[in-house]
Amino acid sequence: MSRSGAELLVERRGPTLVMTLNRPEVRNAVNASLAEALACALADLDADEALRVGILTGRGASFCSGLDLKAFLAGEPRSVEGRGFAGLTEAPPAKPLIAAVEGAAMAGGFEMVLACDLVVAGDGASFGLPEVRRGLIAGSGGLIRLPHRIPPQIAMEYALTGDMMSAAEAHRWGLVNRLAPTGEALGTAQALAARIAGNAPLSIAFSKELITGAATWTEAEAWDRQRQRLDTVIASADAREGAEAFVQKRPAVWSGE
């Protein structure tokens, strides 16, 4: 089942929700209506128990060039209240989100990628924060997230020079999980999503929560939160199902409970 709008294409592929930025004529630059549509799609991803993983990609030659400056000059808001730029950067979904990147992910487009949990990139993809070349700063999470994803010195270099990072370089620094031949990023991302979706929903949710939160929690907070989540998981129906499936040498059938 798919749902198409002028700016965003949304398609359910089994337990995966594929969201495609659909403004190729402006390199998928984000205007207010695209941001609102993406915010709604991400809310649907979290609300629908049948969905396990989201994929964010762009139509055409670029992933996303960032903010639509013409829309901005026309007075359109650049953020969605409570969710940040593009309806994503300040409030990513609770469920895993994979960026499938072809072409350039620049400025806010790169910040959208950084708000995702995993990144698959075509060989010709590139990433950059060129804001310093325009008298601006990467204010939608790029300067906050990039030094946690790659070595801080490397993040500093790219943030201060505004240079673009190739897909191969991004993969070398661990920013990109999978490299794919040009044009095959989405297919590779779907295969990765399928591997994730085959696992227990509660385990996936708690694992993402703990990995994401550990960067800002104190050690004591991290252990306390992990203990709480572990107690919940161990008492779940899916933990028993996982053990029984292993013993009986059969695929597990997850209930999410």
- 178 DSSP 8-state letter: E
Question: 63: how many CB neighbours lie within 10 A of its CB?
Answer: 30
- Active-site residue, 131 included: yes
- Active-site residue, 7 included: no
Tokens of 26: 């402006």
201-213 vs 219-234: helix crossing angle, rounded to 10: 180
Question: 119: how many CB neighbours lie within 10 A of its CB?
Answer: 26
Tokens of 137: 């700063």
Cα–Cα–Cα angle for 48, 98, 61, rounded to 5 degrees: 120
**Most distant pair of Cα atoms in the chain: their distance:** 62
User: 36, 111, 241, 244: which is the annotated catalytic residue?
Assistant: 111
User: 25, 131, 209, 257: which is the annotated catalytic residue?
Assistant: 131
Q: Where in the sequence numbering do the catalytic residues fall? A: 111, 131
